[in-house]
Chains A and B, each alone.
Chain A
Amino acid sequence: MRGGGTDAREVWRGWLRVAAETAALAVAMPQVFLFLYYARDLAVGSGARAPFARALALYGLAVAQVSAPYVIALTLALRVLIRRRVRVGVTLGCAVAAGYLWVAVWNGLILESFSYGGATVPILLCSLVFAGYAAARRLYLDSLEPLLPPRPAAPAAGENEAAGLSG
Protein backbone atom coordinates (compact mmCIF):
# COMPACT_ATOMS: atom_id res chain seq x y z
CA MET A 1 0.00 0.00 0.00
CA ARG A 2 2.76 2.38 1.02
CA GLY A 3 4.71 1.65 -2.12
CA GLY A 4 1.60 2.39 -4.24
CA GLY A 5 1.15 5.77 -2.47
CA THR A 6 4.76 6.70 -3.11
CA ASP A 7 4.38 5.77 -6.79
CA ALA A 8 1.26 7.94 -7.09
CA ARG A 9 3.10 10.82 -5.43
CA GLU A 10 6.00 10.38 -7.83
CA VAL A 11 3.62 10.45 -10.80
CA TRP A 12 1.97 13.60 -9.44
CA ARG A 13 5.32 15.25 -8.86
CA GLY A 14 6.29 14.39 -12.41
CA TRP A 15 3.11 15.94 -13.80
CA LEU A 16 3.51 19.03 -11.61
CA ARG A 17 7.05 19.49 -12.90
CA VAL A 18 5.84 19.21 -16.50
CA ALA A 19 3.04 21.72 -15.80
CA ALA A 20 5.41 24.16 -14.05
CA GLU A 21 7.98 23.85 -16.84
CA THR A 22 5.30 24.44 -19.50
CA ALA A 23 3.76 27.39 -17.66
CA ALA A 24 7.18 28.96 -17.02
CA LEU A 25 8.12 28.65 -20.70
CA ALA A 26 4.73 29.88 -21.92
CA VAL A 27 4.96 33.00 -19.73
CA ALA A 28 8.70 33.66 -19.80
CA MET A 29 9.45 33.07 -23.48
CA PRO A 30 7.23 35.92 -24.84
CA GLN A 31 8.54 38.25 -22.11
CA VAL A 32 12.17 37.52 -22.97
CA PHE A 33 11.45 37.82 -26.71
CA LEU A 34 9.69 41.19 -26.32
CA PHE A 35 12.30 42.70 -24.00
CA LEU A 36 15.02 41.67 -26.45
CA TYR A 37 12.99 42.91 -29.44
CA TYR A 38 12.45 46.32 -27.83
CA ALA A 39 15.86 46.42 -26.08
CA ARG A 40 17.19 49.23 -28.26
CA ASP A 41 14.08 51.40 -27.76
CA LEU A 42 14.20 50.66 -24.05
CA ALA A 43 17.88 51.61 -23.87
CA VAL A 44 17.89 54.77 -26.00
CA GLY A 45 14.41 56.08 -25.13
CA SER A 46 15.03 59.23 -23.08
CA GLY A 47 13.85 58.64 -19.49
CA ALA A 48 10.70 56.84 -18.28
CA ARG A 49 12.03 53.30 -18.69
CA ALA A 50 9.86 51.87 -15.92
CA PRO A 51 6.52 52.56 -17.68
CA PHE A 52 7.96 51.18 -20.91
CA ALA A 53 9.14 48.04 -19.09
CA ARG A 54 5.68 47.69 -17.51
CA ALA A 55 4.03 48.11 -20.93
CA LEU A 56 6.32 45.40 -22.33
CA ALA A 57 5.56 43.06 -19.42
CA LEU A 58 1.82 43.49 -20.05
CA TYR A 59 2.40 43.00 -23.78
CA GLY A 60 4.31 39.81 -22.93
CA LEU A 61 1.36 38.52 -20.90
CA ALA A 62 -1.03 39.29 -23.78
CA VAL A 63 1.29 37.48 -26.22
CA ALA A 64 1.60 34.55 -23.79
CA GLN A 65 -2.17 34.33 -23.47
CA VAL A 66 -2.77 34.40 -27.22
CA SER A 67 0.07 32.10 -28.21
CA ALA A 68 -0.19 29.69 -25.27
CA PRO A 69 -1.22 26.70 -27.44
CA TYR A 70 1.83 27.21 -29.66
CA VAL A 71 4.26 27.54 -26.74
CA ILE A 72 2.74 24.51 -24.98
CA ALA A 73 3.21 22.47 -28.16
CA LEU A 74 6.80 23.76 -28.29
CA THR A 75 7.43 22.70 -24.68
CA LEU A 76 6.11 19.22 -25.40
CA ALA A 77 8.34 19.07 -28.47
CA LEU A 78 11.28 20.04 -26.25
CA ARG A 79 10.49 17.12 -23.94
CA VAL A 80 10.51 14.78 -26.93
CA LEU A 81 13.86 16.21 -28.07
CA ILE A 82 15.34 15.70 -24.59
CA ARG A 83 13.99 12.17 -24.32
CA ARG A 84 15.32 11.23 -27.75
CA ARG A 85 18.75 12.67 -26.85
CA VAL A 86 18.85 14.80 -29.95
CA ARG A 87 22.09 16.74 -30.48
CA VAL A 88 22.24 20.33 -29.20
CA GLY A 89 22.79 21.70 -32.72
CA VAL A 90 19.60 20.03 -33.96
CA THR A 91 17.63 21.34 -30.95
CA LEU A 92 19.01 24.84 -31.64
CA GLY A 93 18.04 24.61 -35.32
CA CYS A 94 14.54 23.42 -34.45
CA ALA A 95 14.17 26.23 -31.91
CA VAL A 96 15.27 28.90 -34.43
CA ALA A 97 12.86 27.49 -37.03
CA ALA A 98 10.06 27.40 -34.43
CA GLY A 99 10.84 31.03 -33.50
CA TYR A 100 10.56 32.26 -37.08
CA LEU A 101 7.43 30.15 -37.57
CA TRP A 102 5.91 31.79 -34.48
CA VAL A 103 6.74 35.28 -35.83
CA ALA A 104 5.20 34.34 -39.21
CA VAL A 105 2.05 32.96 -37.57
CA TRP A 106 1.73 35.99 -35.26
CA ASN A 107 2.26 38.45 -38.13
CA GLY A 108 -0.11 36.56 -40.40
CA LEU A 109 -2.93 35.66 -38.03
CA ILE A 110 -2.79 38.11 -35.13
CA LEU A 111 -1.11 41.40 -36.09
CA GLU A 112 1.86 42.29 -38.25
CA SER A 113 3.98 43.43 -35.32
CA PHE A 114 7.50 42.07 -35.76
CA SER A 115 10.03 42.46 -38.56
CA TYR A 116 11.98 39.29 -39.35
CA GLY A 117 15.27 41.21 -39.22
CA GLY A 118 14.46 42.73 -35.85
CA ALA A 119 13.32 39.34 -34.53
CA THR A 120 16.58 37.58 -35.46
CA VAL A 121 18.59 38.41 -32.31
CA PRO A 122 15.68 37.70 -29.91
CA ILE A 123 14.97 34.39 -31.67
CA LEU A 124 18.64 33.36 -31.59
CA LEU A 125 19.03 34.24 -27.91
CA CYS A 126 15.74 32.55 -26.92
CA SER A 127 16.76 29.49 -28.97
CA LEU A 128 20.16 29.37 -27.25
CA VAL A 129 18.44 29.38 -23.85
CA PHE A 130 16.00 26.72 -25.10
CA ALA A 131 18.79 24.50 -26.47
CA GLY A 132 20.92 25.14 -23.38
CA TYR A 133 18.11 24.04 -21.12
CA ALA A 134 17.59 20.91 -23.23
CA ALA A 135 21.33 20.10 -23.04
CA ALA A 136 21.44 20.70 -19.27
CA ARG A 137 18.38 18.53 -18.70
CA ARG A 138 19.87 15.77 -20.86
CA LEU A 139 23.14 15.88 -18.88
CA TYR A 140 21.14 15.72 -15.64
CA LEU A 141 19.17 12.70 -16.85
CA ASP A 142 22.40 11.03 -18.02
CA SER A 143 23.93 11.59 -14.59
CA LEU A 144 20.91 9.95 -12.97
CA GLU A 145 21.05 6.85 -15.14
CA PRO A 146 23.85 4.99 -13.25
CA LEU A 147 21.79 5.42 -10.04
CA LEU A 148 18.69 3.78 -11.48
CA PRO A 149 18.25 0.01 -11.09
CA PRO A 150 19.00 -1.84 -14.33
CA ARG A 151 15.91 -2.83 -16.30
CA PRO A 152 15.29 -6.60 -16.56
CA ALA A 153 16.31 -7.81 -20.00
CA ALA A 154 13.44 -8.88 -22.27
CA PRO A 155 13.33 -12.65 -22.68
CA ALA A 156 14.75 -13.84 -25.97
CA ALA A 157 12.29 -15.33 -28.47
CA GLY A 158 14.25 -18.56 -28.34
CA GLU A 159 13.60 -19.01 -24.61
CA ASN A 160 9.84 -18.95 -25.14
CA GLU A 161 10.12 -21.46 -27.88
CA ALA A 162 12.24 -23.68 -25.65
CA ALA A 163 9.54 -23.56 -22.96
CA GLY A 164 6.90 -24.52 -25.51
CA LEU A 165 5.12 -21.17 -25.13
CA SER A 166 5.10 -20.12 -28.76
CA GLY A 167 2.22 -20.73 -31.10
Chain B
Amino acid sequence: MRTLEVIDLGADADYAEVLARQEALHARRAEGGAADTLLLLEHRRVYTLGRSAEAGHVLLSEEALERAGIACVRASRGGDVTYHGPGQLVGYPILHLGEAGLRVLDFVAGLEEALIRAAAGYGVEAGRDPRNRGVWVGGSKLAALGIRVARQVTMHGFALNVNTRLEDYGGIVPCGLRGVGVTSLSALLGRPLEMGEVKARVAASFRAVFGYAEGGV
Protein backbone atom coordinates (compact mmCIF):
# COMPACT_ATOMS: atom_id res chain seq x y z
CA MET B 1 0.00 0.00 0.00
CA ARG B 2 1.22 3.52 -0.78
CA THR B 3 2.29 5.77 2.08
CA LEU B 4 1.54 9.42 2.71
CA GLU B 5 3.76 11.61 4.84
CA VAL B 6 1.68 14.09 6.83
CA ILE B 7 3.63 17.09 8.15
CA ASP B 8 2.07 19.42 10.72
CA LEU B 9 3.55 22.90 10.25
CA GLY B 10 1.58 24.30 13.19
CA ALA B 11 -0.08 27.71 13.43
CA ASP B 12 0.93 31.23 12.35
CA ALA B 13 2.61 29.95 9.18
CA ASP B 14 3.89 32.61 6.81
CA TYR B 15 2.41 32.27 3.30
CA ALA B 16 5.69 32.85 1.44
CA GLU B 17 7.54 30.40 3.66
CA VAL B 18 5.00 27.64 3.11
CA LEU B 19 4.96 28.39 -0.62
CA ALA B 20 8.76 27.89 -0.68
CA ARG B 21 8.32 24.60 1.19
CA GLN B 22 5.64 23.47 -1.25
CA GLU B 23 7.75 24.34 -4.28
CA ALA B 24 10.75 22.49 -2.84
CA LEU B 25 8.63 19.42 -2.11
CA HIS B 26 7.01 19.67 -5.53
CA ALA B 27 10.39 19.75 -7.30
CA ARG B 28 11.64 16.77 -5.27
CA ARG B 29 8.39 14.80 -5.72
CA ALA B 30 8.43 15.34 -9.48
CA GLU B 31 12.02 14.04 -9.57
CA GLY B 32 11.04 11.00 -7.48
CA GLY B 33 13.10 12.20 -4.51
CA ALA B 34 10.22 12.55 -2.04
CA ALA B 35 7.09 10.67 -1.01
CA ASP B 36 3.53 11.94 -1.41
CA THR B 37 3.12 14.54 1.32
CA LEU B 38 0.27 16.42 2.97
CA LEU B 39 1.20 19.66 4.73
CA LEU B 40 -1.29 20.73 7.41
CA LEU B 41 -1.13 24.18 8.96
CA GLU B 42 -2.83 27.41 9.95
CA HIS B 43 -1.73 30.54 8.14
CA ARG B 44 -1.15 34.01 9.47
CA ARG B 45 -4.03 36.30 8.30
CA VAL B 46 -3.74 36.68 4.52
CA TYR B 47 -5.92 37.18 1.45
CA THR B 48 -4.64 35.19 -1.53
CA LEU B 49 -5.56 35.89 -5.13
CA GLY B 50 -5.57 32.91 -7.48
CA ARG B 51 -4.72 33.07 -11.15
CA SER B 52 -8.26 33.93 -12.22
CA ALA B 53 -8.81 36.44 -9.41
CA GLU B 54 -10.09 39.95 -10.00
CA ALA B 55 -8.30 42.59 -7.92
CA GLY B 56 -11.72 44.15 -7.27
CA HIS B 57 -12.70 41.12 -5.22
CA VAL B 58 -10.51 42.43 -2.40
CA LEU B 59 -12.82 45.07 -0.96
CA LEU B 60 -10.37 46.71 1.48
CA SER B 61 -7.88 49.41 0.55
CA GLU B 62 -4.16 48.85 1.15
CA GLU B 63 -4.35 51.12 4.20
CA ALA B 64 -7.31 49.21 5.61
CA LEU B 65 -5.49 45.90 5.04
CA GLU B 66 -2.44 47.25 6.83
CA ARG B 67 -4.58 48.51 9.73
CA ALA B 68 -6.30 45.12 9.98
CA GLY B 69 -2.94 43.32 9.82
CA ILE B 70 -3.99 41.21 6.85
CA ALA B 71 -1.48 40.59 4.07
CA CYS B 72 -2.57 40.27 0.44
CA VAL B 73 -0.60 38.09 -1.95
CA ARG B 74 -0.88 36.64 -5.45
CA ALA B 75 -0.89 32.84 -5.48
CA SER B 76 -0.04 30.49 -8.32
CA ARG B 77 -3.09 28.28 -7.69
CA GLY B 78 -6.33 28.33 -9.66
CA GLY B 79 -9.46 30.06 -8.41
CA ASP B 80 -10.31 33.54 -7.19
CA VAL B 81 -9.79 35.31 -3.86
CA THR B 82 -9.80 33.53 -0.53
CA TYR B 83 -8.86 34.13 3.06
CA HIS B 84 -6.49 32.18 5.29
CA GLY B 85 -6.02 32.79 8.97
CA PRO B 86 -5.91 31.34 12.46
CA GLY B 87 -8.53 28.68 13.17
CA GLN B 88 -8.65 27.59 9.53
CA LEU B 89 -7.08 24.24 8.64
CA VAL B 90 -5.12 24.52 5.41
CA GLY B 91 -3.94 21.39 3.64
CA TYR B 92 -1.39 21.31 0.83
CA PRO B 93 -1.16 17.84 -0.75
CA ILE B 94 1.97 17.23 -2.85
CA LEU B 95 0.82 14.12 -4.71
CA HIS B 96 1.98 12.43 -7.90
CA LEU B 97 -1.28 11.98 -9.82
CA GLY B 98 0.33 9.74 -12.45
CA GLU B 99 1.63 7.28 -9.85
CA ALA B 100 -1.73 7.33 -8.05
CA GLY B 101 -3.58 6.75 -11.35
CA LEU B 102 -5.73 9.84 -10.78
CA ARG B 103 -7.03 12.49 -13.16
CA VAL B 104 -7.21 16.08 -11.95
CA LEU B 105 -11.01 15.97 -11.58
CA ASP B 106 -10.79 12.71 -9.58
CA PHE B 107 -8.26 14.39 -7.30
CA VAL B 108 -10.49 17.44 -6.72
CA ALA B 109 -13.51 15.22 -6.05
CA GLY B 110 -11.34 13.17 -3.66
CA LEU B 111 -10.33 16.30 -1.75
CA GLU B 112 -13.99 17.24 -1.37
CA GLU B 113 -14.85 13.71 -0.26
CA ALA B 114 -12.08 13.69 2.38
CA LEU B 115 -13.34 16.97 3.86
CA ILE B 116 -17.00 15.87 3.73
CA ARG B 117 -16.04 12.70 5.67
CA ALA B 118 -14.03 14.70 8.21
CA ALA B 119 -17.01 17.04 8.77
CA ALA B 120 -19.33 14.02 9.07
CA GLY B 121 -17.13 12.85 11.97
CA TYR B 122 -18.47 15.87 13.88
CA GLY B 123 -22.04 15.21 12.79
CA VAL B 124 -21.98 17.98 10.17
CA GLU B 125 -23.67 16.98 6.93
CA ALA B 126 -21.67 18.74 4.23
CA GLY B 127 -21.92 18.27 0.49
CA ARG B 128 -20.94 19.49 -2.97
CA ASP B 129 -22.40 22.16 -5.20
CA PRO B 130 -22.37 21.04 -8.86
CA ARG B 131 -21.81 24.65 -10.02
CA ASN B 132 -19.09 25.66 -7.57
CA ARG B 133 -16.24 23.55 -6.28
CA GLY B 134 -15.68 23.25 -2.55
CA VAL B 135 -17.50 21.81 0.42
CA TRP B 136 -20.84 23.34 1.33
CA VAL B 137 -23.32 23.22 4.18
CA GLY B 138 -26.65 24.55 2.97
CA GLY B 139 -25.78 27.63 0.94
CA SER B 140 -22.60 28.40 2.88
CA LYS B 141 -19.06 27.40 2.04
CA LEU B 142 -17.29 25.33 4.66
CA ALA B 143 -14.10 24.60 2.70
CA ALA B 144 -12.50 26.17 -0.37
CA LEU B 145 -10.30 24.35 -2.89
CA GLY B 146 -7.60 25.77 -5.13
CA ILE B 147 -5.05 23.46 -6.66
CA ARG B 148 -2.28 23.48 -9.18
CA VAL B 149 -0.83 20.57 -11.13
CA ALA B 150 2.55 20.60 -12.86
CA ARG B 151 4.50 17.58 -14.09
CA GLN B 152 1.60 15.48 -12.72
CA VAL B 153 2.36 16.64 -9.19
CA THR B 154 -0.19 18.67 -7.22
CA MET B 155 0.32 21.64 -4.94
CA HIS B 156 -1.86 24.16 -3.06
CA GLY B 157 -5.03 22.43 -1.84
CA PHE B 158 -7.86 23.15 0.58
CA ALA B 159 -8.85 25.50 3.38
CA LEU B 160 -11.35 24.12 5.91
CA ASN B 161 -12.98 26.61 8.27
CA VAL B 162 -12.72 25.12 11.74
CA ASN B 163 -12.59 27.97 14.27
CA THR B 164 -12.04 30.70 11.66
CA ARG B 165 -12.88 34.35 12.40
CA LEU B 166 -15.59 34.57 9.72
CA GLU B 167 -15.68 38.41 9.87
CA ASP B 168 -12.33 38.39 8.04
CA TYR B 169 -14.18 37.15 4.93
CA GLY B 170 -15.94 40.53 4.93
CA GLY B 171 -12.94 42.12 3.25
CA ILE B 172 -13.24 40.00 0.08
CA VAL B 173 -15.72 38.45 -2.32
CA PRO B 174 -14.84 34.85 -1.38
CA CYS B 175 -14.01 32.78 -4.46
CA GLY B 176 -15.54 35.59 -6.55
CA LEU B 177 -19.06 34.53 -5.51
CA ARG B 178 -21.22 37.45 -4.41
CA GLY B 179 -24.05 36.85 -1.95
CA VAL B 180 -22.65 33.51 -0.85
CA GLY B 181 -22.11 32.83 2.84
CA VAL B 182 -19.14 31.29 4.55
CA THR B 183 -19.38 29.05 7.60
CA SER B 184 -17.14 27.08 9.92
CA LEU B 185 -17.39 23.87 11.91
CA SER B 186 -17.37 25.82 15.18
CA ALA B 187 -20.19 28.11 13.96
CA LEU B 188 -22.21 25.07 12.93
CA LEU B 189 -21.58 23.18 16.17
CA GLY B 190 -21.73 26.18 18.49
CA ARG B 191 -18.40 25.35 20.15
CA PRO B 192 -14.71 25.68 19.32
CA LEU B 193 -12.96 22.55 18.13
CA GLU B 194 -9.52 21.24 19.05
CA MET B 195 -7.36 21.77 15.94
CA GLY B 196 -5.11 18.76 16.60
CA GLU B 197 -8.12 16.47 16.55
CA VAL B 198 -9.44 18.02 13.32
CA LYS B 199 -6.03 17.54 11.70
CA ALA B 200 -5.99 13.87 12.70
CA ARG B 201 -9.50 13.35 11.31
CA VAL B 202 -8.70 15.13 8.03
CA ALA B 203 -5.43 13.18 7.62
CA ALA B 204 -7.28 9.90 8.28
CA SER B 205 -10.08 10.62 5.80
CA PHE B 206 -7.54 11.86 3.23
CA ARG B 207 -5.61 8.58 3.53
CA ALA B 208 -8.80 6.53 3.30
CA VAL B 209 -10.13 8.36 0.22
CA PHE B 210 -6.85 8.26 -1.73
CA GLY B 211 -5.91 4.71 -0.69
CA TYR B 212 -2.89 5.34 1.53
CA ALA B 213 -1.83 3.16 4.44
CA GLU B 214 -2.97 4.41 7.84
CA GLY B 215 -0.58 6.59 9.80
CA GLY B 216 -0.26 9.53 12.15
CA VAL B 217 0.15 13.28 11.68
B194 adjacent to chain A (CB < 8 Å): no
Among A34, A46, A61, A62, the most chain B Cβ lie within 10 Å of the Cβ of A62
Q: How far is the CA of A38 from the CA of B151 in the complex (A)?
A: 24
> Are B151 and A112 neighbours in the complex by a CB distance under 8 Å?
no
B17 adjacent to chain A (CB < 8 Å): yes
B147 adjacent to chain A (CB < 8 Å): no
Given contacts A34-B20, A41-B14, A41-B17, contact A110 B30 (CB under 8 A): yes
Neighbouring B residues of A48 by C-beta, 8 Å: 12, 14, 17
> Are B20 and A111 neighbours in the complex by a CB distance under 8 Å?
no
B21 adjacent to chain A (CB < 8 Å): yes
Which size bracket describes the interface of B in this complex?
Answer: 20 to 34
B51 CB to closest chain A CB, in angstroms? 10
**Which of chain B's residues has its CB closest to A53's CB?**
B17
> Are A58 and B26 neighbours in the complex by a CB distance under 8 Å?
no
Given contacts A110-B150, A110-B151, A112-B76, contact A55 B17 (CB under 8 A): yes
Given contacts A65-B33, A112-B150, contact A45 B17 (CB under 8 A): yes
B44 adjacent to chain A (CB < 8 Å): yes
> Are B24 and A45 neighbours in the complex by a CB distance under 8 Å?
no
B200 adjacent to chain A (CB < 8 Å): no
Neighbouring B residues of A113 by C-beta, 8 Å: 23, 76
A70 adjacent to chain B (CB < 8 Å): no
Neighbouring B residues of A38 by C-beta, 8 Å: 16, 20
How many chain-A residues does the 8 Å CB contact rule pick out? 22
B27 adjacent to chain A (CB < 8 Å): yes
Known: A38-B16, A110-B30, A111-B151. 12 other contacts (CB 8 A): A34-B20, A45-B16, A52-B14, A55-B17, A58-B24, A62-B28, A65-B27, A65-B31, A65-B33, A66-B31, A111-B30, A113-B23
Chosen A-B contacts, 20 in total, with CB atoms closer than 8 Å, are: A34-B20, A41-B17, A45-B14, A48-B17, A51-B17, A52-B16, A55-B20, A58-B21, A59-B21, A59-B23, A59-B27, A61-B24, A62-B24, A63-B27, A65-B28, A66-B31, A110-B150, A110-B151, A111-B26, A113-B76
Question: Could you tell me which B residues sit within 8 Å of A by CB distance?
Answer: 12, 14, 16-18, 20-21, 23-28, 30-31, 33, 44, 76, 150-151, 155
